[in-house]
Structures are given as structure tokens and as C-alpha cells.
């Protein structure tokens, strides 16, 4: 069976990388324009994240596989965010923003795994304790990628 990637998955995979050109534009803009751009970006991010959560909980095909794919494509973004955070240790507002952005991205990409864990538990494929551990693991940085791989292997078609 071939696995088809949905447009929501494509959008979620490459969405955070749109921040890179936006970050380069920010220094050339006035403070008001930069805040406006950031506000639009946050609003669009919330819409994309909402679409991702909706898709993960309503569609059934390839949820664990697509969640793992999103997480693997996001790894370079998280590495860049970590390096940026290391460079901005003296700027707490920047670090808080990076943490919130990374957490939001992690939880939305984890929605595929959480939905698949709940579905597998309801179908009897996963033991309730295993499903609970996988769901908890999807809410912790780095462990979410590991749990995504485990879930993909356990729920393999």
C-alpha cells in the first residue's frame, strides 16, 4: 500500500521554515511593522496548528506515519532554534518566545501521534498503559520523536 502525504502534512512539515526569511526581514522593518508581521505570523501559525490538530483527530489514514515524518523534518528547525537560544541567553523574552514556539510546534505535530495512540487503544491494538506512555512521551522534547517512531512501528499497517 502506498502512503500518500496530505496537504496538511506538507504544510505542517515546512511551516516553521517560513520564520527564517521573516527573521532576516525583521531588522530592516520599523518596530510597528515588525510587530505586525510577527502578529500575522502567530495568527497564521495558530490556524495551521488548528488545521493539523483537526486533521489528526478526524482523518484515519497514516496518522502515525505522517506524524513521524513531520517530526523528522522539524529536527533541523529545532537545532537552529536551540542554537539561537544559546546565542540569546541574555535576552529572556526571546528565549520565552522560542520556547513557546517550539512547544506549540511540538504539540501540534504530536497531535498525529496522540490521535493514533487513542485510536489504537480503542481498537485494542495498544494496551492502555502503553498508549498512556506514548501520549505522555509525545509531550516531551526529543522523546516525542522516539515515541513517534515506536508508535509507527507498533501501528504499522
Q: Determine the structural domain holding residue 16 and report its residue range.
A: 7-154
How confident is the model at residue 46, as a pLDDT? 79
131, 118 in Cβ contact below 8 A?
yes
Residue at 113 is within a domain: yes
3-state helix, strand, coil in the chain (%, to 5): 80, 0, 20
Predicted confidence pLDDT, tens digits, the chain (157 residues): 567 787 778 888 888 887 777 767 767 777 788 778 778 877 887 787 777 777 777 776 656 888 888 888 988 888 888 887 777 776 777 777 777 777 877 877 888 888 888 888 888 888 999 999 999 999 888 898 899 889 888 887 5
The C-alpha atoms of residue 111 and residue 99 are separated, in whole angstroms, by: 18
Q: Is residue 48 one of the residues assigned to a domain?
A: yes
Note if the pTM is more than 0.85: no
Q: By C-alpha distance, which of 48, 68, 53, 42 is closest to 146?
A: 68
Q: How far apart are CA 65 and CA 81, in angstroms?
A: 25
Q: How many domains does the chain have?
A: 1
State how far the alpha carbon of 59 is from the alpha carbons of 12, 37, 70, in Å.
15, 32, 16
Residue 2 falls within a domain, yes or no?
Answer: no
Amino acid at each position: 500500500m502506498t502512503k500518500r502525504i496530505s496537504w496538511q502534512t506538507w504544510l505542517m512539515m515546512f511551516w516553521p521554515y517560513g520564520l527564517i526569511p521573516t527573521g532576516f526581514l525583521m531588522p530592516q522593518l520599523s518596530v510597528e511593522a515588525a510587530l505586525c508581521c510577527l502578529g500575522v505570523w502567530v495568527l497564521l501559525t495558530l490556524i495551521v496548528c488548528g488545521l493539523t490538530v483537526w486533521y489528526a483527530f478526524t482523518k484515519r489514514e497514516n496518522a502515525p506515519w505522517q506524524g513521524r515524518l513531520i517530526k523528522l523534518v522539524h529536527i533541523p528547525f529545532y537545532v537552529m532554534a536551540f542554537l539561537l537560544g544559546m546565542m540569546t541567553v541574555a535576552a529572556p523574552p526571546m528565549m520565552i518566545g522560542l520556547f513557546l514556539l517550539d512547544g506549540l510546534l511540538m504539540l501540534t505535530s504530536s497531535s498525529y501521534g496522540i490521535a493514533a495512540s487513542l485510536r489504537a487503544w480503542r481498537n485494542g491494538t495498544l494496551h492502555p498503559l502503553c498508549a498512556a506512555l506514548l501520549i505522555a512521551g509525545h509531550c516531551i522534547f526529543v522523546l516525542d520523536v522516539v515515541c513517534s517512531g515506536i508508535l509507527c512501528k507498533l501501528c504499522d499497517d
